[in-house]
């Protein structure tokens, strides 16, 4: 257990975390943009 | 010679790295937010997707007494329209339509040959046009302007020439 804990303490993949943060941000921005375009174009009904 | 089974404690076997745990949490939160937004658009704001209105025979739908034998606009006293469109390789009939701003237009579109698409640019009108089926969608045009409708399903060599124009006048 001590070995695992010491590995955890040293494991800080800041570069990977940054890349994933950018990925999530882009995902949210793209999705949000499309959603706002959908709303701005008005309702469609059947 | 006997092999000893290594001891695996519950704490070790269920170990999840904090970064991985947070990533999973974020993924779930995003999915919940996206699903909530789509649910609000669909049920609270009333956005609906196209529906198959009825089944027809593509060989006879454009002949006889039906509305697709004389495709085009039908105007009603309340200012709304029904617009019947026949799609075929490589044209829409009619391919030029004019309505008044603020009017509600219900599109009825069918195909008499192969599968087509019907996308009215800069609006949320986007339907698959399947032979043997009438696709229906209603939209209100508040902004005057010109809206092109195009075929979005590759239907042959002149697919790119298959388009029409809907004009919204003041």
Residue B77 lies in a domain: yes
- Predicted confidence pLDDT, tens digits, chain B (170 residues): 555 666 656 555 678 888 889 999 999 999 999 999 999 999 999 899 888 889 999 999 999 889 999 999 999 999 999 999 999 999 999 999 999 999 999 999 999 999 999 999 999 999 999 999 999 999 999 989 999 999 999 999 999 999 999 999 98
Nearest to A43 among B26, B34, B46 (CB): B46
Residue B37 lies in a domain: no
Global ipTM = 0.74
Residue B160 lies in a domain: yes
DSSP string, B72-121: EEEE-TTS-EEEEEEEETTEEES-EEEEETTEEEEEEEEESSS-EEEEET
Residue B93 lies in a domain: yes
Which stretches of A2-45 are assigned E, i.e. beta strand?
44-45
Cα of B139 to nearest chain A Cα, Å: 5
Q: Which long-range contacts (CB under 8 A, 24 or more apart) does B20-25 make?
A: B23/A20
Residue B24 lies in a domain: no
B142 contacts in A (CB within 8 Å)? 42
Q: Look up residue B10 and give its DSSP letter.
A: H
Domain count, chain B: 1
Domain region containing B91: 67-169
Question: To probe the interface with A, which of B25, B28, B124, B125 has the most A CB atoms within 10 Å?
Answer: B124
CATH number, domain containing residue B163:
2.60.40.420
Is 0.90 surpassed by the pTM of this model?
no
3-state helix, strand, coil in chain B (%, to 5): 20, 40, 40
């Amino acid at each position: 257990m001590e070995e695992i804990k010491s590995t955890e303490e040293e494991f800080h993949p800041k570069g990977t975390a940054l890349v994933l943060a950018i990925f999530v941000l882009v995902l949210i921005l793209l999705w949000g943009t499309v959603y706002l375009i959908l709303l701005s174009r008005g309702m469609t009904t059947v | 010679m006997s092999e000893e089974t290594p001891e695996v404690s519950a704490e070790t076997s269920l170990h999840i790295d904090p970064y991985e745990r947070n990533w999973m949490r974020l993924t779930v939160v995003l999915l919940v937010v996206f699903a909530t937004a789509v649910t609000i658009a669909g049920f609270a704001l009333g956005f609906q997707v196209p529906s198959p209105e009825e089944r027809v025979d593509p060989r006879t739908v454009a002949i006889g007494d039906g509305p697709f034998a004389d495709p085009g606009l039908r105007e009603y006293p309340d200012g709304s329209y029904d617009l019947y469109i026949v799609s075929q390789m490589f044209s829409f009939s009619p391919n030029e339509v004019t309505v008044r701003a603020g009017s509600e237009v219900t599109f009825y579109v069918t195909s008499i040959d192969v599968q087509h698409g019907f996308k009215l640019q800069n609006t949320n009108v986007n339907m698959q046009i399947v032979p043997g089926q009438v696709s229906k969608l209603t939209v209100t045009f508040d902004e005057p302007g010109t809206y092109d409708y195009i075929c979005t399903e590759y239907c042959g060599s002149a697919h790119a020439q298959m388009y029409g124009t809907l004009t919204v006048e003041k």
